[in-house]
Protein backbone atom coordinates (compact mmCIF):
# COMPACT_ATOMS: atom_id res chain seq x y z
CA UNK A 1 0.00 0.00 0.00
CA UNK A 2 2.95 2.29 -0.69
CA UNK A 3 1.87 5.90 -0.97
CA UNK A 4 -1.66 5.49 0.40
CA UNK A 5 -0.90 7.48 3.53
CA UNK A 6 -0.32 10.76 1.69
CA UNK A 7 -3.11 13.23 1.07
CA UNK A 8 -2.58 13.42 -2.69
CA UNK A 9 -1.14 10.66 -4.82
CA UNK A 10 1.56 11.43 -7.38
CA UNK A 11 0.64 9.60 -10.57
CA UNK A 12 2.99 8.82 -13.42
CA UNK A 13 0.51 7.24 -15.83
CA UNK A 14 -1.91 9.08 -18.14
CA UNK A 15 -5.21 9.16 -16.21
CA UNK A 16 -7.00 10.79 -19.15
CA UNK A 17 -6.76 7.51 -21.07
CA UNK A 18 -7.62 5.33 -18.07
CA UNK A 19 -10.46 2.82 -18.25
CA UNK A 20 -11.64 0.83 -15.21
CA UNK A 21 -11.48 -2.26 -17.43
CA UNK A 22 -7.73 -2.27 -16.78
CA UNK A 23 -8.36 -3.10 -13.12
CA UNK A 24 -9.81 -6.46 -14.12
CA UNK A 25 -7.01 -7.56 -16.44
CA UNK A 26 -5.72 -10.91 -15.21
CA UNK A 27 -9.14 -12.20 -14.19
CA UNK A 28 -9.78 -10.11 -11.08
CA UNK A 29 -13.34 -10.47 -9.81
CA UNK A 30 -15.73 -7.61 -9.22
CA UNK A 31 -17.94 -5.24 -11.19
CA UNK A 32 -17.99 -1.85 -12.92
CA UNK A 33 -21.11 0.25 -13.50
CA UNK A 34 -21.04 3.39 -15.64
CA UNK A 35 -24.20 5.45 -15.21
CA UNK A 36 -23.09 7.81 -17.99
CA UNK A 37 -23.45 4.99 -20.54
CA UNK A 38 -27.15 4.81 -21.40
CA UNK A 39 -26.53 1.72 -23.57
CA UNK A 40 -25.89 -0.31 -20.41
CA UNK A 41 -29.24 0.53 -18.78
CA UNK A 42 -32.70 -0.94 -19.28
CA UNK A 43 -36.25 -0.61 -17.99
CA UNK A 44 -37.72 -2.98 -15.41
CA UNK A 45 -38.30 -5.72 -18.01
CA UNK A 46 -34.52 -5.94 -18.44
CA UNK A 47 -34.61 -5.68 -22.24
CA UNK A 48 -36.15 -2.31 -23.20
CA UNK A 49 -33.55 0.48 -23.35
CA UNK A 50 -33.72 2.97 -20.49
CA UNK A 51 -35.12 6.45 -21.04
CA UNK A 52 -34.13 9.59 -19.14
CA UNK A 53 -36.77 10.39 -16.53
CA UNK A 54 -38.01 6.80 -16.29
CA UNK A 55 -37.26 3.80 -14.09
CA UNK A 56 -34.11 1.70 -14.53
CA UNK A 57 -34.48 -1.99 -13.68
CA UNK A 58 -31.17 -3.28 -15.02
CA UNK A 59 -27.66 -1.93 -15.46
CA UNK A 60 -24.96 -3.99 -17.11
CA UNK A 61 -21.63 -4.77 -15.52
CA UNK A 62 -18.86 -3.45 -17.82
CA UNK A 63 -16.05 -5.40 -16.09
CA UNK A 64 -16.66 -8.58 -18.08
CA UNK A 65 -17.68 -10.51 -14.96
CA UNK A 66 -21.40 -10.48 -15.80
CA UNK A 67 -22.53 -9.08 -12.44
CA UNK A 68 -25.49 -7.04 -13.69
CA UNK A 69 -27.61 -5.05 -11.23
CA UNK A 70 -31.37 -5.61 -11.35
CA UNK A 71 -34.65 -4.56 -9.73
CA UNK A 72 -37.88 -6.25 -10.81
CA UNK A 73 -40.27 -4.07 -8.77
CA UNK A 74 -40.82 -0.84 -10.71
CA UNK A 75 -41.70 1.22 -7.64
CA UNK A 76 -38.27 0.41 -6.20
CA UNK A 77 -36.32 1.31 -9.35
CA UNK A 78 -34.23 4.50 -9.47
CA UNK A 79 -34.79 6.95 -12.30
CA UNK A 80 -32.31 7.59 -15.06
CA UNK A 81 -31.55 11.28 -14.62
CA UNK A 82 -29.40 14.13 -15.86
CA UNK A 83 -28.24 16.36 -13.03
CA UNK A 84 -27.97 20.15 -13.02
CA UNK A 85 -24.47 19.95 -14.50
CA UNK A 86 -25.61 17.69 -17.34
CA UNK A 87 -24.14 14.45 -15.94
CA UNK A 88 -26.02 11.17 -16.26
CA UNK A 89 -26.79 9.36 -13.01
CA UNK A 90 -29.25 7.13 -11.21
CA UNK A 91 -31.63 9.09 -8.98
CA UNK A 92 -32.80 7.23 -5.86
CA UNK A 93 -35.82 8.61 -4.02
CA UNK A 94 -35.32 7.01 -0.58
CA UNK A 95 -37.19 3.80 -1.38
CA UNK A 96 -35.14 2.29 -4.21
CA UNK A 97 -32.31 -0.17 -4.71
CA UNK A 98 -30.62 -2.46 -7.20
CA UNK A 99 -28.86 -5.77 -6.47
CA UNK A 100 -26.90 -8.34 -8.44
CA UNK A 101 -28.88 -11.41 -9.42
CA UNK A 102 -26.19 -13.66 -7.93
CA UNK A 103 -23.21 -13.52 -5.60
CA UNK A 104 -19.87 -12.01 -6.50
CA UNK A 105 -17.50 -15.00 -6.15
CA UNK A 106 -14.88 -13.54 -3.83
CA UNK A 107 -14.80 -16.43 -1.32
CA UNK A 108 -14.83 -18.97 -4.16
CA UNK A 109 -11.68 -17.30 -5.51
CA UNK A 110 -10.03 -16.80 -2.08
CA UNK A 111 -10.01 -13.00 -2.41
CA UNK A 112 -8.72 -11.19 0.69
CA UNK A 113 -8.07 -7.73 -0.78
CA UNK A 114 -10.61 -5.20 -2.02
CA UNK A 115 -10.79 -1.82 -3.77
CA UNK A 116 -13.98 0.22 -4.16
CA UNK A 117 -14.39 3.51 -6.06
CA UNK A 118 -17.76 5.28 -6.14
CA UNK A 119 -19.24 8.71 -6.84
CA UNK A 120 -22.51 9.70 -5.17
CA UNK A 121 -24.61 12.55 -3.82
CA UNK A 122 -26.88 12.57 -0.78
CA UNK A 123 -29.85 14.94 -0.80
CA UNK A 124 -31.48 14.28 2.58
CA UNK A 125 -30.52 14.58 6.25
CA UNK A 126 -30.94 12.40 9.30
CA UNK A 127 -31.06 9.15 7.35
CA UNK A 128 -28.88 6.06 7.23
CA UNK A 129 -28.22 5.92 3.47
CA UNK A 130 -26.48 3.09 1.63
CA UNK A 131 -24.37 3.85 -1.44
CA UNK A 132 -22.95 0.35 -1.96
CA UNK A 133 -22.89 -2.82 0.10
CA UNK A 134 -21.37 -6.25 -0.50
CA UNK A 135 -23.68 -8.60 1.48
CA UNK A 136 -27.28 -8.06 2.48
CA UNK A 137 -26.16 -6.83 5.90
CA UNK A 138 -22.45 -6.35 6.49
CA UNK A 139 -22.93 -6.30 10.25
CA UNK A 140 -24.35 -9.81 10.32
CA UNK A 141 -22.01 -11.52 7.86
CA UNK A 142 -18.28 -11.98 7.28
CA UNK A 143 -16.31 -10.77 4.30
CA UNK A 144 -18.27 -7.65 3.33
CA UNK A 145 -17.96 -3.99 2.35
CA UNK A 146 -20.23 -1.01 2.89
CA UNK A 147 -20.00 2.70 2.03
CA UNK A 148 -22.84 4.85 3.36
CA UNK A 149 -23.88 8.03 5.10
CA UNK A 150 -25.00 7.71 8.70
CA UNK A 151 -27.94 9.46 10.33
CA UNK A 152 -25.30 11.65 11.98
CA UNK A 153 -24.30 13.02 8.55
CA UNK A 154 -20.88 11.36 8.31
CA UNK A 155 -19.69 9.27 5.40
CA UNK A 156 -18.50 5.85 6.53
CA UNK A 157 -16.63 2.91 5.02
CA UNK A 158 -16.64 -0.59 6.48
CA UNK A 159 -14.28 -3.31 5.27
CA UNK A 160 -14.70 -6.64 7.00
CA UNK A 161 -13.25 -10.12 7.21
CA UNK A 162 -14.47 -11.82 10.39
CA UNK A 163 -14.46 -8.40 12.11
CA UNK A 164 -15.07 -4.88 10.88
CA UNK A 165 -12.63 -2.04 10.27
CA UNK A 166 -14.69 1.15 10.19
CA UNK A 167 -13.57 4.63 9.12
CA UNK A 168 -15.72 7.79 9.18
CA UNK A 169 -15.36 11.33 7.87
CA UNK A 170 -16.24 14.44 9.80
CA UNK A 171 -19.88 15.52 9.51
CA UNK A 172 -20.84 16.94 6.12
CA UNK A 173 -23.58 19.30 5.00
CA UNK A 174 -26.55 18.57 2.80
CA UNK A 175 -26.64 18.12 -0.10
CA UNK A 176 -23.20 16.57 -0.40
CA UNK A 177 -21.59 15.17 -3.53
CA UNK A 178 -18.38 13.17 -3.05
CA UNK A 179 -16.24 10.45 -4.52
CA UNK A 180 -15.00 7.67 -2.26
CA UNK A 181 -12.19 5.13 -2.31
CA UNK A 182 -11.98 2.25 0.15
CA UNK A 183 -8.97 -0.06 -0.27
CA UNK A 184 -8.32 -2.89 2.16
CA UNK A 185 -6.54 -6.14 2.89
CA UNK A 186 -7.83 -8.68 5.37
CA UNK A 187 -4.53 -10.53 5.56
CA UNK A 188 -2.15 -7.51 5.72
CA UNK A 189 -4.21 -5.96 7.52
CA UNK A 190 -4.95 -2.46 6.22
CA UNK A 191 -7.82 -0.18 5.26
CA UNK A 192 -7.51 3.25 3.63
CA UNK A 193 -10.62 5.40 3.17
CA UNK A 194 -10.34 8.41 0.86
CA UNK A 195 -12.83 11.16 0.03
CA UNK A 196 -12.44 13.50 -2.92
CA UNK A 197 -8.88 12.39 -3.57
CA UNK A 198 -7.61 12.89 -0.01
CA UNK A 199 -7.02 10.39 2.78
CA UNK A 200 -9.61 10.33 5.55
CA UNK A 201 -7.74 7.65 7.52
CA UNK A 202 -5.20 4.97 6.70
CA UNK A 203 -5.67 2.20 9.24
CA UNK A 204 -3.68 -0.94 10.00
CA UNK A 205 -6.32 -2.18 12.41
CA UNK A 206 -7.55 -5.75 12.17
CA UNK A 207 -10.24 -6.90 9.73
CA UNK A 208 -10.26 -10.30 11.37
CA UNK A 209 -9.54 -13.38 9.32
CA UNK A 210 -10.78 -15.18 6.22
CA UNK A 211 -11.71 -13.82 2.81
CA UNK A 212 -14.36 -11.60 1.31
CA UNK A 213 -17.57 -13.56 0.94
CA UNK A 214 -19.67 -14.78 -1.94
CA UNK A 215 -22.32 -12.10 -1.45
CA UNK A 216 -24.71 -10.10 -3.64
CA UNK A 217 -23.87 -6.45 -4.27
CA UNK A 218 -26.49 -3.74 -3.66
CA UNK A 219 -26.50 -0.04 -4.51
CA UNK A 220 -28.84 2.72 -3.35
CA UNK A 221 -30.25 0.65 -0.49
CA UNK A 222 -29.50 -2.37 1.64
CA UNK A 223 -30.52 -5.74 0.16
CA UNK A 224 -31.98 -4.36 -3.09
CA UNK A 225 -33.63 -1.43 -1.37
CA UNK A 226 -35.11 -3.19 1.65
CA UNK A 227 -33.77 -0.59 4.10
CA UNK A 228 -31.21 2.20 4.65
CA UNK A 229 -32.12 3.73 1.29
CA UNK A 230 -30.34 6.58 -0.45
CA UNK A 231 -32.16 9.81 -1.18
CA UNK A 232 -29.76 11.06 -3.81
CA UNK A 233 -27.72 10.04 -6.85
CA UNK A 234 -25.06 7.53 -7.88
CA UNK A 235 -22.78 8.30 -10.83
CA UNK A 236 -20.14 5.57 -11.10
CA UNK A 237 -19.02 2.46 -9.20
CA UNK A 238 -16.07 0.09 -9.47
CA UNK A 239 -15.46 -2.79 -7.06
CA UNK A 240 -12.56 -5.17 -7.64
CA UNK A 241 -10.98 -7.92 -5.57
CA UNK A 242 -7.43 -6.60 -5.58
CA UNK A 243 -5.27 -4.12 -3.69
CA UNK A 244 -5.13 -1.23 -6.16
CA UNK A 245 -1.76 0.45 -6.59
CA UNK A 246 -1.16 4.14 -5.95
CA UNK A 247 -1.29 4.88 -9.68
CA UNK A 248 -4.47 2.83 -10.10
CA UNK A 249 -6.11 4.68 -7.22
CA UNK A 250 -5.21 8.08 -8.63
CA UNK A 251 -6.44 7.13 -12.11
CA UNK A 252 -9.66 5.55 -10.85
CA UNK A 253 -10.41 8.55 -8.66
CA UNK A 254 -9.89 10.93 -11.56
CA UNK A 255 -12.21 8.79 -13.70
CA UNK A 256 -14.97 8.66 -11.07
CA UNK A 257 -14.56 12.36 -10.26
CA UNK A 258 -15.08 13.21 -13.93
CA UNK A 259 -18.26 11.13 -14.07
CA UNK A 260 -19.53 12.67 -10.81
CA UNK A 261 -18.57 16.30 -11.29
CA UNK A 262 -16.17 16.53 -8.34
CA UNK A 263 -12.88 18.41 -8.59
CA UNK A 264 -9.87 16.65 -7.06
pLDDT in tens, 189-217: 999 999 999 999 999 999 999 999 999 99
Whether residue 174 is contained in a domain is answered as: yes
Whether residue 3 is contained in a domain is answered as: no
Whether residue 104 is contained in a domain is answered as: yes
pLDDT at 8: 38
Whether residue 164 is contained in a domain is answered as: yes
User: Cα separation of 41 and 39, whole Å?
Assistant: 6
Whether residue 9 is contained in a domain is answered as: no
Domain count, the chain: 1
User: Cα separation of 63 and 177, whole Å?
Assistant: 25
19-70 residue pLDDT tens: 999 999 999 999 999 999 999 999 999 999 999 999 999 999 999 999 999 9
Whether residue 37 is contained in a domain is answered as: yes
Domain of residue 38: give its range: 20-260
Whether residue 1 is contained in a domain is answered as: no
CATH number for the domain that contains residue 89? 2.60.120.200
190 touches 200 (CB < 8 A): no
Amino acid sequence: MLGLGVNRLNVTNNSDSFSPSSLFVGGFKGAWYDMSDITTMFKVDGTTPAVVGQAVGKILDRSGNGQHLIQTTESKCPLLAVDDAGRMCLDFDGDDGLRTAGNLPFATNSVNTMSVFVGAKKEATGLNQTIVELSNSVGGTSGGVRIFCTSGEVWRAIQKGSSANTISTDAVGNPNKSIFTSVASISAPSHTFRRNGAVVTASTGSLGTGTYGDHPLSIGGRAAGASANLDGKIYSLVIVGKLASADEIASAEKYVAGKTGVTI
